[in-house]
Amino acid sequence: MKITKAEISIISLPMHTPFETGFGKISHKDEIIVALFTEDGMVGYGESATLSHPVYNHETTESCWLALKNSILPQVVGKDFDTVESFVASYANIVGNTAARAGAECAFWHLLAQKQNTSLKALFGGVQSNIMVGEGVGITNSTEELLGTVESYLQDGFRRIKVKIKPGWDHEPLAAIREHWPDIKLMADGNSQYSLADHAQTLISLEKYDLEMIEQPLASTDFVDHATLQSQTATPVCLDESIENLNDARTAIALGSCKVINIKIGRVGGVLEAMHIHDYAKEHGVTVWSGGMLETGVGRAFSLALASKPAFVHAADLSPYQMYFTDDITAPGLQLQKDGYIAVPDSPGLGFDIDAAKMKQYTTRHHCIEP
Ligand code: OSB
Ligand code: MG
C-alpha cells in the first residue's frame, strides 16, 4: 500500500467531568488523530493518546505533534508498505515518543484491516468476544462524593472499581468502599506518587481491602523497589508507567516487580510492541489488562480489539465516552452491556464509523504531510 499523504489533527472534545489523579487534574483533553491516505483511496485512522503536560510520562500533546510532523510521518509518506513490520521499520530510528509512534502504527493497522476486509480483532489474533469493563474513580473532595460516584458506576454495570490514590488519600477511600461493598472487584492506582522509603507500611497494609491489584504505586523507573514491595505484600502489584516496551516487561518480570501489567498501546509505542509484551507476560505467568488514557472512540477501538487476546483477564479501562465527554468522533461508540461487558466488533476495519462532521467540528489544529 503506497502512502500518498498523512494528516494530523488535534481533536478537542468537551469534557463534562474532570478526572483527578495523583499527578493532577485532567479537565481538558486534546487528542491527536493520525490519518494515512493510500494511492487506491483508502484512509486509515490512528490515535496518539497524550496529556497536555508531562506528568504521567515524558510525552505531551505538543511533543507528540512535533514528533509526528517532523520526525515520523515524513519518513512514511511516498513509500509503499505491505506489512506493519516494514511500516514501523521506516521510522525505527525514532526513540521514545511512544504515543506518536503508536498513532502512526494504528493508522497503518486500520489500512491493513480495510485492505484485507477483516477486523482488528482478527488481525491482532483476538479470541474473546466480550471484554469485562471497569471504571475509575478520580480523587474526590469527600468520601460521600466518592461513595455516590461508586454507587452510580455499579448501577451502570461496571464490573470493577479502580480508585485513584495518593499519600493522604488511600486508606480512607478504600475502607469506605469496602465497608459498603465487601465483595466488588476493587483496585487502587497510585500513579507513581509513593516511595518505598516513606510509604512501605501504608502500601503493605492496603492488603486488608482485598484489592485485585495495586497499580504503579512507585516511580516509573523504580523496578527494584516495586520488586521489594511485591515480595512483602500479598496484593498483586501492577505496572503501568514503568512498562514502555518489551525490555521493561522483561526487566520487571526478571526482578519480580509485578504480577500484572497494564497494557496501553500509546504508552508502549504501538500494537506490535503491545503484542510482544502480551506474549512474553503470558509465557511467564503474568496477567495483563487493557488500560486507558481517556481516548476518543478511535483509540478505544484499538484497545478493545487488543483486549480480546487471551492473557487479558482483568476488567479493562474502556468506559464509553459519555463517562467523561459530551461527544465523540465515532458512532455509535462503545456500548456497555447490562452485564458490564463490551462486545468486540467482528466487522471489517475499525468496527466503528468515524463521523467526518464531528471530526471537523472538534478539530482545533490540522497539518498535512506530503512527500
Ligand atoms: O494511570 O491509568 C492511568 C488516564 C490518564 C493517564 C493515566 C491513567 C488514566 C486513567 C484513565 O486511569 C482510564 C480510562 O481511560 O478510562
Ligand atoms: Mg495507571
pLDDT digits (tens, 9 = 90+) for 286-333: 999 999 999 999 999 999 999 999 999 999 999 999 999 999 999 889
**pLDDT of amino acid 345:** 97
**Strand positions, DSSP E, the chain:** 3-13, 19-21, 24-26, 29-38, 43-48, 130-137, 160-164, 185-189, 214-215, 237-239, 260-263, 287-290, 316-317, 330-331, 341-343, 353-354, 363-369
Cβ 294 under 6 angstroms from ligand 1: yes
Tell me how far the alpha carbon of residue 285 lies from the centroid of ligand 2, in angstroms.
21
Q: How far apart are CA 238 and CA 225, in angstroms?
A: 13
**pLDDT of amino acid 230:** 98
Closest atom of ligand 1 to 324 CA is: 16
Whether residue 249 contacts residue 267, with contact meaning beta carbons closer than 8 Å, is answered with no
- Beta-bridge mates of residue 341: 132
Tell me how far the alpha carbon of residue 249 lies from the centroid of ligand 2, in angstroms.
16
Question: Please, which residues have CB within 8 angstroms of residue 51's CB and are 6 or more apart in sequence?
Answer: 26, 29, 59, 60, 61, 293
334: cell is: 462503545
Q: How many Cα atoms sit within 13 Å of 335 on the Cβ side?
A: 9
The protein residue with its alpha carbon nearest to ligand 1, atom 13, reads 292
Whether residue 354 contacts residue 329, with contact meaning beta carbons closer than 8 Å, is answered with yes
The protein residue with its alpha carbon nearest to ligand 1, atom 7, reads 293
| Pick from 174, 175, 181: nearest CA to 158 | 181
231: cell is: 515480595
Going residue by residue through the chain, which has 371 residues, state the pLDDT in tens, using 9 for 90 and above.
999 999 999 999 999 999 999 999 999 999 999 999 999 999 999 999 999 999 999 999 999 999 999 999 999 999 999 999 999 999 999 999 999 999 999 999 999 999 999 999 999 999 999 999 999 999 999 999 999 999 999 999 999 999 999 999 999 999 999 999 999 999 999 999 999 999 999 999 999 999 999 999 999 999 999 999 999 999 999 999 999 999 999 999 999 999 999 999 999 999 999 999 999 999 999 999 999 999 999 999 999 999 999 999 999 999 999 999 999 999 889 999 999 999 999 999 999 999 999 999 999 999 999 99
Tell me how far the alpha carbon of residue 240 lies from the centroid of ligand 1, in angstroms.
10
Closest atom of ligand 1 to 262 CA is: 2
- Beta-bridge mates of residue 20: 25
**pLDDT of amino acid 234:** 98
**pLDDT of amino acid 229:** 98
How far is residue 192 from each of residues 48, 67, 221, measured CA to CA in Å?
22, 26, 10
At 145, phi and psi to the nearest 5? -60, -45
DSSP string of 215-273?
E--S-TT-HHHHHHHHHH-SSPEEESTT-SSHHHHHHHHHHT--SEEEE-HHHHTSHHH
**pLDDT of amino acid 86:** 98
221, with CB counted inside 10 A (0-12, 13-18, 19+), is exposed
Where residue 230 falls (left for φ over 0; alpha for ψ -120 to 50; beta otherwise) is alpha
Which of 59, 317, 318, 319 to probe ligand 1 with, by most ligand atoms within 8 A of CB?
317
**pLDDT of amino acid 265:** 98
Cell 478539530 sits on residue: 363
**pLDDT of amino acid 112:** 98
Tell me how far the alpha carbon of residue 4 lies from the centroid of ligand 1, in angstroms.
34
Which of 13, 20, 21, 214 to probe ligand 1 with, by most ligand atoms within 8 A of CB?
21
Angle among Cα 321, 324, 328 to the nearest 5 degrees reads: 35
**pLDDT of amino acid 156:** 97
- Beta-bridge mates of residue 13: 29
Cβ 56 under 6 angstroms from ligand 1: yes
3-state secondary structure of 150: helix
Q: How far apart are CA 266 and CA 263, in angstroms?
A: 9
The set of catalytic residues is 164, 264
102: cell is: 503508536
**pLDDT of amino acid 248:** 98
pTM: 0.97
